[in-house]
């Protein structure tokens, strides 16, 4: 197989979070990059700007000139570009196998967990850059400070968001690993929680004795996994609960719209940390970043300053704008625990405002499997609008709908709508001054907030 640094790599699904980040690193390493996707996403447009050739749609001719083809987990084997590459004898790799090749010779820092891994990885990247470690990093979202989701560095560290989908994280050899939490997700890959948990146990077992395993002590499963490896790698436990070795104390909202907390290490108060991102969960994420920084020999003062400058990740409590007194926020939350934490953060940041939660369920399998938990996740919202389910890689074969989800909620003000446009019309007729509209989901439901802002801004003055 051709050497990556001199090859032409074609990526099928280049607009997604996973492959766009890989493409970014390859471009910065001087590799020829092309790719295709059904929709040209903003990150794909950035790749085009910087020299990648990106096609909209899939066609056999798109693999012309490719030495290696990389396919997203969401791309089926019968994809026309995969079949053409195989017919021509061009090696075809799935994302996990290609990532393994990219990380060869590097010290890998991998961040896993059902929730929080994108923000935690982004925080660690911000710290490593501030400490002048010049890391290579791959994050599942665009960092607001660095305006990218990936970077090719010259240092020995390779930081990566360790995605559990399709067991991608089991292809890694982490020198340092973080587990933020372990709650059942991706039922299309993991039919039961026990299967899901075993995958995380396997991930933890990949850390060598001289490495670091950092686990969140607030999550019982992550804590148990850490305890089971106590005789192997250096295990450090972080979180918010009293008594944890690494913990955030006195977490409270601050004037910047984020949270402040005291960072404590083994009974020693290191100092005050001020974040610009809201929510107690982000204090926990920041503690994970401090644990990794300490393990890598980065002074607390450097890490703290980096975290203070951290402005978040796109689609993670991203304030999209304000019009006619209505604030629009978007968040990628698509699991019940994530939704609950995001709404709690919104309530802390906007304590006296009416909060509209506009939720787009993501995949039929997740919606059906976690229906009862979704029904209880919206207590901190004053109004709830449920959008049609975003199918992603699935087909509507499970007999579950947005109306089913809305009907199950024990909420006084919830309704299902037939389309994204219907949600916009409902909001235009109902939102008032000081309201907050929070779009929730991993699909295209953020369009509701963007359209709402546009139309509110275009209204004639009365």
Q: Indicate if 106 belongs to the active site.
A: no
Under a CB-based contact definition with an 8 Å cutoff, are residues 223 and 216 in contact?
Answer: yes
* Domain boundaries, given as residue ranges, for the chain: 8-94, 103-309, 318-457
Burial of residue 419 (number of CB atoms within 10 Å: 0-12, 13-18, 19+)? exposed
Catalytic annotation, pick one of 114, 121, 148, 161: 161
Catalytic annotation, pick one of 118, 168, 342, 367: 118
**In CATH, 318-457 is 1.10.10.10:** no
Catalytic annotation, pick one of 31, 81, 106, 117: 117
Under a CB-based contact definition with an 8 Å cutoff, are residues 138 and 149 in contact?
Answer: yes
Under a CB-based contact definition with an 8 Å cutoff, are residues 36 and 56 in contact?
Answer: yes
**In CATH, 8-94 is 3.40.50.620:** no
What is the structure's pLDDT at 462? 41
DSSP state at residue 138:
E
**CATH T-level assignment (fold) for domain 103-309:** 3.40.1190
**Fold: same for 8-94 and 103-309:** no
What is the structure's pLDDT at 400? 86
CA-closest candidate to residue 102, choices 176, 1, 179, 25 = 25
What is the structure's pLDDT at 423? 94
Q: What is the 3-state secondary structure (H, E, C) of 262-314?
A: EEEECCEEEEEEECCCCCHHHHHHHHHHHHHHHHCCCCHHHHHHHHHHCCCEC
Q: Indicate if 114 belongs to the active site.
A: no
What is the structure's pLDDT at 224? 94
CA-closest candidate to residue 237, choices 193, 281, 181 = 181
Terminal-to-terminal C-alpha distance of the chain: 66
What is the structure's pLDDT at 141? 84
DSSP state at residue 57:
S
Q: Indicate if 320 belongs to the active site.
A: no
Mean pLDDT in order along the chain per 10 residues (462 residues): 73 90 94 92 90 94 95 90 96 92 94 92 96 95 86 96 88 95 85 92 93 96 88 85 95 89 95 92 96 97 96 83 93 87 90 94 88 90 93 80 88 93 94 93 90 84 46
């Amino acid at each position: 197989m051709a050497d990556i640094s001199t090859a032409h790599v074609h990526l099928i699904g280049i607009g997604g979070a996973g492959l766009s980040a890989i493409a970014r690193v390859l471009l910065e390493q001087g590799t020829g990059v092309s790719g295709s996707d059904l929709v040209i996403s903003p990150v794909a447009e950035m790749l085009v700007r910087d020299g990648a050739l990106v096609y909209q749609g899939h066609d056999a001719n798109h693999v012309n000139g490719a030495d290696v083809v990389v396919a997203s987990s969401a791309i089926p084997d019968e994809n026309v570009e995969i079949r053409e590459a195989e017919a021509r004898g061009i090696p075809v790799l799935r994302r996990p196998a290609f990532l393994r090749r990219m990380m060869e010779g590097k010290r890998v820092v991998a961040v896993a967990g059902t929730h929080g891994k994108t923000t935690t990885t982004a925080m660690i990247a911000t710290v490593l850059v501030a400490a002048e470690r010049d890391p290579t990093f791959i994050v599942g979202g665009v960092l607001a400070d660095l305006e990218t989701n990936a970077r090719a560095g010259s240092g020995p560290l390779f930081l990566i968001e360790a995605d559990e989908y399709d067991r991608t994280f089991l292809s890694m050899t982490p020198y340092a690993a973080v587990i933020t939490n372990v709650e059942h997700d991706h039922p299309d890959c993991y039919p039961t929680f026990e299967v899901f948990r075993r995958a995380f146990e396997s991930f933890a077992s990949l850390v060598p004795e001289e490495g670091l395993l950092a686990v969140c002590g607030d999550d019982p499963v992550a804590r148990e996994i850490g305890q089971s490896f106590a005789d192997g790698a250096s295990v450090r436990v972080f979180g918010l609960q009293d008594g944890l070795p690494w913990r955030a104390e006195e977490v409270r909202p601050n004037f910047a719209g984020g949270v402040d907390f005291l960072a404590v290490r083994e009974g020693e108060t290191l100092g005050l940390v001020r974040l610009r991102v809201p929510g107690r969960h982000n204090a926990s994420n920041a503690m994970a970043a401090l644990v990794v920084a300490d393990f890598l020999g980065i002074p607390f003062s450097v890490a703290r300053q980096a975290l203070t400058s951290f402005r978040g990740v796109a689609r993670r409590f991203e304030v999209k704008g304000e019009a006619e007194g209505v604030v629009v926020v978007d968040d990628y939350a698509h699991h019940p625990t994530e939704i609950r934490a995001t709404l709690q953060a919104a309530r802390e940041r906007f304590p006296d405002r009416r909060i509209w939660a506009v939720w787009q369920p993501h995949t039929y399998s997740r919606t059906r499997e976690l229906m009862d938990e979704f029904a209880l996740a919206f207590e901190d919202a004053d109004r709830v609008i449920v959008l049609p389910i975003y199918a992603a890689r699935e087909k509507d074969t499970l007999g579950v709908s947005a109306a089913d989800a809305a009907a199950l909620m024990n909420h006084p003000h919830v309704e299902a709508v037939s389309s994204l446009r219907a949600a916009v019309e409902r909001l235009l007729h109902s939102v008032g001054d000081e309201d907050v509209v929070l779009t929730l989901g991993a699909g295209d439901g953020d369009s509701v907030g963007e359209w709402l802002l546009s139309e509110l801004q275009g209204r004639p003055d009365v």
